[in-house]
Structures are given as structure tokens and as C-alpha cells.
Structure 1
Amino acid sequence: MPGKFLRLLAIAMLLFMSASAQKKAPSFSIIPLGVKGGIDESNLSAYMVSAAGSNNYICMDAGTLHSGIEKAVSKHTFKVPAETILKQYIKGYFISHAHLDHVSGLIINSPEDSTKSIYGLPSCLETIKTHYFTWASWANFADDGEKPALKKYSYKPMEPGKPVTVDGTGLSVQVFPLSHSNLVGAAYLVKNNDAYVLYLGDTGPDEVEKSTKLRELWQAIVPLISKGELKGIMIEVSYPNEQPDKSLFGHLTPNWLMKEMQVLQSLTGEGKLKGFNLVVTHVKPPQKNIEKLKQQLKQQNTLGLNLIFPQQGKRIEL
């Protein structure tokens, strides 16, 4: 009898360990190609996102491509040439808004890129079409706009509430509008089976922007947090707390981020954000400001969030 009991106990422990391992298995692989917001043109907002274990990525913003890919190769994140990553691994671009620090890599690399789609809100795509992919400023590599259209890229306007599926990736993406000073920016909710990750482009706090867009976004993701399906939020914090509200220009500070996280917790319930993954993006140079910003975030992290500071070229798994 004792032997039988021990065998049953061992089997139970193995089943428990197997279930725990499956529970902790990552759902997403994120490769930061650029993590800063101005002025370092070699390291501007761009994040490759795929289902874990897949080399079929979408790119959230595209401020830096080539330099970031080269950095990822040098860090052995990828073991293939940079050209393969640009042309074969990246299946499409999701642009949050058309400021240069979010699209310049896409524009500059377009002659060497492969055929794929550019997704975004109609206002964002219109700016790319009329200001960047024109024959006066560059060349029209897209399928609409000034003639001749070279048709390498196809514009895919998105509507809030209507997810799109990206062929060959297993991912679907839903867009939410954000308030970014004088622009309508975008957040993208990426779905892989029953797991999600949320990427926000540039955004100001609701109170400063006189907006409700962040609160509406938080309300939309509450059910995903409650069920443990949202694996993380990628959100900008551009300036340290010393930046006055009148000079935020549609961005966040540690103070404002934590206020917004308090709003999110008020919707999810006490303690629900403890250990939740928060990837901090779009930090603005100089380096002393970045270090101050990180220190302030850590000091004000009373909710127990798992703060992640991405490094260019280094893989993040969520």
C-alpha cells in the first residue's frame, strides 16, 4: 500500500509540474528594434511581435528597422542575416501615428523591403500617403497615391471594433484610438489564440488631454486581465516627472502613468495588477533623463507592477 501511495503521489506531482510549466509558457515573443523617442535615429520606436516560437512577426511602429535588426543579429537574438528578417520575418506594419520617429525606418528601408501591408487608422495612412510616399519626398512604394504607384506596400485602413487577421502569423489585431496632442494615435491589441498583448503608441493622460480614450481602453481590457489572458501592456513614458503638463505634447511621465494604472486597478479590483507585465517604451534622451525616469517609476510602483525596460535587439517573452 505505501508503494502504491508513493507512485500515485509521484504521478500527481508530475501532472502538477506539467500544468504549471504549461501555464507559465510564454505566448508572445517581442523583439525591440527601437526603444527611444527622439533624437537617436538608430533607436526609435519599433517592436517585432510574434506568437512564441514563431518567426512570423508583425511590427508595431517602424521608427527604426535596419539598425535594430542588426543589433538583434549582433546579440544572437536571430541567427539569420538581417535581410532575411526584414524581407521574410516581418509580415506587416502596424503604425500608431505618422510622426517621423514611428515611420522613418519604414520609409528609408522601403527600397530593400518585400511586399507587405501597412495597417493603421485612416488618418495615419493618409499622412503616409500624402507626405512620405510621394515622388517629391521619396518614392511611392505603396498601392495608392501619386502615380506611378510601385505597389510594394498595400494600405490597410483599420476600424475600431473590427479585428484584422495577419496572414501567415496566427495573429489578429484590434485597434483603439488614443489622444496624442493634436493627433489621433492608436493602440493595438494583439491576439494569439486565447492570449493578448497590448501595444500603445504615443498617448497623453486623459486628464491633460481632456479625453476619455485611455479610460475606454482600460475598460475594454478589464475582462482580459480578470481572466489572466492579457500577458502585458507596452506603454510609453517619455519624460521624467519634472516635465510640466503644458510641455507634455501628448506624452506620459511616471506620475501620469501610475495615475492611469490606478484608474485601471479601480476597474479590475484591488491587487489584480500585482506582478502584471508593463513594458516601458518611448523614453526620451538624454540618458540622465532616462535614468531619472526609471528611478521614479520604480519608486512610484506601489501597485507592484512588473516593470520591464526593453533593450534594443534583446528578446522579451510574455
Structure 2
Amino acid sequence: MLNKYLFINILYLFFLPFSGFSQSNKSFKIVPLGVKGGIDESNLSAYMVAAAGTDDYICLDAGTLNYGIEQAIRNKIFSIPAEQVLKRYIKGYFISHAHLDHVSGLIINSPEDTAKTIYGLSATLKTIKTHYFTWESWANFADEGEAPALKKYHYQILSPDSVTMVKNTGMSVKAFPLSHANLQSTAFLLKSNESYILYLGDVGPDEIEKSNNLHLLWEAIAPLLKSRKLKAIMIETSFPNEQPDKTLFGHLTPNWLMKEMEALAGLAGKDALKGFDLIVTHAKPPQVNINKLKAQLKAQNKLQLNLIFPEQGRRIDL
């Protein structure tokens, strides 16, 4: 009898760590460095994302870097100085489009940064090369463009729908074009092992943009939703519903976001979206408008999505 109980206890002690790990197992960690659109230059779109258990981050857009890293340090997310987070932890930048609120942190911090790759669609990288990393507007820290090229950054063009391995990480990315008023934006589908996160840069609804880019994106990710491999979607809602369609300028409101989510549900099934993590990005000040659009999203959440409103410097585990 004693041997029987001893055997059971040994089995319990052996399997306990593994069962605990499976319950708390996460695939990604996200550190928002900036979460807003608009005029607050200390808090503009930028999200560090890494596979769980690593510090090999990429940065999805780069509107605010240093101030967001400092906020994360204050919240005890990082234990090394901000300049070391910038230099050592961020392995590359994925820029959805070249508007200043998505690239200004990258430009300003470039003198203190280390050698990295900037990934993006061809049109996005062309704007960075010809308008920002030039000697008339700043300095050419890249390995292409106006001479002399300082060769700190390497441009890597992403071909839509092709998979690209991310240097110095175990992750891969697939890019999808988006419509954002008068220019092209990008969605990045990030993969680690068999788990995915989808990040969308600025985007307008298909109906207003006279586009099918979002529909094509929903078709591509619907199987990942059904199989529970997609852990979250990060998507903008810039204005409350009171914003007229004619002045959306390639952005979403709660009404339009939920219409797009209904379109996705039509492809993946409503059960796939129930409780699914939807991270709402790029809300534009003033704060009264941000509060209003949050309330509207919650009121219109018929699909029972798990709405997450990211905060600068506070980690999200998925």
C-alpha cells in the first residue's frame, strides 16, 4: 500500500509542472510603445511583439519608441536601460505605411540605434528612402538611397502574400495590402510556431475605400480563426460614430469596425469570434472622443469579442 501511494505522489510531482505550464502557456507578448493616432507625439502607434519566452522583438510601426520604452521600464516590463532595449531587444521594424505618426520614432531614434532591417511593402519603403532618410531632411542611415549611405538599416521589400522569415527571431511574417485613403497601408500576419497574430495599420472600410482588401484579408485568416491558431487581431478604430464618412480619411469607426467583424464572422463563423481577443488601436484624441468610441464599441459588441484597449508600456500576453 505504501508503494502504491508513493508511486502516485511521484507521478503527481512529475506531471504538476507540465500541467501548470499548459494552463498558463502563451504564444506572444506585446509591449505597446504607443497606442494613439493624432497629436500626442509621446504616444503614437508602435508595438513590440515577441514570441513568449524570448526577448527577440519586432516593432510593428514605430511612431513612438523611446518614451514608450521608458514607460514600460517604469511598469517593470524591462529591467535594462531604455537605450539597451532599443539596441538589443528590437530586431527589426515592420512599417505599415509611411505617415509620420507611424515612423517618427524610428527616424528620431536612428542615431542611437543598432543595425537592423526595415520591412515593408515597396511603396512604403520608397517613401522612407526618398523623404525621410535623406540628407536634406535628416541623414541617410540606410543602405540605399542618397549618398553617402550610412548603412545602419537594410530595406527588405515584402511581397504581398509571401512568407518572410524575420532575421534574428524565430518568427515569420506575411504582408497584405490595405486601403488607407490616398495611399497603401499594410496588414502583417505574424507567426510563431503554429500561432498567429494579425496587425493592421491604418485602414478604411471596404465600402468607403471602394476596395476589397479587407475582404481578401478576412478570407485569408478565416481558417486560422476556425482552427484557433489566430490569437488576436490588432485593428484601428480612430473616430467615434459621429465622424462623417466623408472625413474618415481611411479610418474606422465603431460602426464600421463591427461591420467588418460581421463580414469576418460570415467567413469564420460567429462561434470563432466569441471571446476572441480584438485589440483596438489608433484611437485619436481628444480623450472625450476616445471614451466615446470605447463605449460605442462595447455597446455594439454583438459578436461578444474580447475587446482589449492597449495601454502604453503595459504588456499583453496572448
With the shorter chain as reference, the TM-score category is: over 0.9
Structure 1 residue 132: Cα displacement: 0.4
Q: Take 2:18 and 2:300, find their aligned partners in 1: how far apart are those partners?
A: 36
Equivalence for 1:214: 214
Equivalence for 1:80: 80
Equivalence for 2:59: 59
**Residue 316 in 1 paired to residue 316 in 2?**
yes
Equivalence for 1:191: 191
Structure 1 residue 167: Cα displacement: 2.2
Equivalence for 2:241: 241
Q: How does 1:1-318 map to 2 (within 5 A)?
A: 21-22=21-22, 24-318=24-318
Structure 1 residue 22: Cα displacement: 1.4
**Count of aligned residue pairs for this structure pair:** 316
Structure 1 residue 18: Cα displacement: 5.0
Q: Take 2:156 and 2:23, find their aligned partners in 1: how far apart are those partners?
A: 35
Bigger mean CA deviation after superposition, 202-211 or 16-25: 16-25
C-alpha offsets along residues 177-221 of structure 1, whole Å, 9 cap, x if unaligned?
Answer: 000001110000000000000000000001111110001000100
Q: Detail structure 1 runs of 4+ shifted over 6 Å in the superposition.
A: 14-17
C-alpha offsets along residues 117-159 of structure 1, whole Å, 9 cap, x if unaligned?
Answer: 0000000000000000010000000000000000000000000
Structure 1 residue 270: Cα displacement: 2.9
Q: Take 2:164 and 2:268, find their aligned partners in 1: how far apart are those partners?
A: 27
Q: Report the residue type matching 2:210 in the other structure.
A: K
Q: Report the residue type matching 1:167 in the other structure.
A: K
- TM-score norm. by structure 1 comes to 0.95
Structure 2 unaligned residues grouped into runs of 5+: none
Q: Take 2:219 and 2:20, find their aligned partners in 1: how far apart are those partners?
A: 29
Q: Report the residue type matching 1:103 in the other structure.
A: V
Q: Take 1:73 and 1:251, find their aligned partners in 2: how far apart are those partners?
A: 31
Q: Take 1:11 and 1:306, find their aligned partners in 2: how far apart are those partners?
A: 37
Cα distance change of structure 1 residues 17 and 70 upon mapping to structure 2, 3 Å threshold: closer
2:270–2:303 contact (8 Å) kept in structure 1: no
- Which SS does the other structure have where 1:93 is aligned? strand
- Which SS does the other structure have where 2:274 is aligned? coil
- Which SS does the other structure have where 1:264 is aligned? helix
Q: Report the residue type matching 1:160 in the other structure.
A: P
C-alpha offsets along residues 106-126 of structure 1, whole Å, 9 cap, x if unaligned?
Answer: 000000000000000000000
Percent of residue pairs bearing the same amino acid type: 64
- Which SS does the other structure have where 1:215 is aligned? helix
Q: Report the residue type matching 1:88 in the other structure.
A: R
Structure 1 unaligned residues grouped into runs of 5+: none
RMSD: 2.1
Structure 1 residue 59: Cα displacement: 0.2
Q: Report the residue type matching 2:177 in the other structure.
A: P
Q: Take 1:177 and 1:190, find their aligned partners in 2: how far apart are those partners?
A: 15
Q: Report the residue type matching 1:42 in the other structure.
A: S
Q: Take 1:188 and 1:272, find their aligned partners in 2: how far apart are those partners?
A: 20
Q: Report the residue type matching 2:116 in the other structure.
A: K
C-alpha offsets along residues 55-103 of structure 1, whole Å, 9 cap, x if unaligned?
Answer: 1100000000011111111111111100110000000000000000000
Cα distance change of structure 1 residues 208 and 11 upon mapping to structure 2, 3 Å threshold: farther
Q: Take 2:215 and 2:20, find their aligned partners in 1: how far apart are those partners?
A: 33
Structure 1 residue 21: Cα displacement: 4.9
Q: Take 1:21 and 1:80, find their aligned partners in 2: how far apart are those partners?
A: 27
- Which SS does the other structure have where 1:32 is aligned? strand
Q: Take 2:260 and 2:132, find their aligned partners in 1: how far apart are those partners?
A: 34
Q: Take 2:160 and 2:307, find their aligned partners in 1: how far apart are those partners?
A: 28
Structure 1 residue 26: Cα displacement: 1.0
Structure 1 residue 311: Cα displacement: 0.4
- TM-score norm. by structure 2 comes to 0.95
Bigger mean CA deviation after superposition, 103-112 or 263-272: 263-272
Structure 1 residue 281: Cα displacement: 0.4
2:177–2:184 contact (8 Å) kept in structure 1: yes
Q: Take 1:49 and 1:217, find their aligned partners in 2: how far apart are those partners?
A: 21
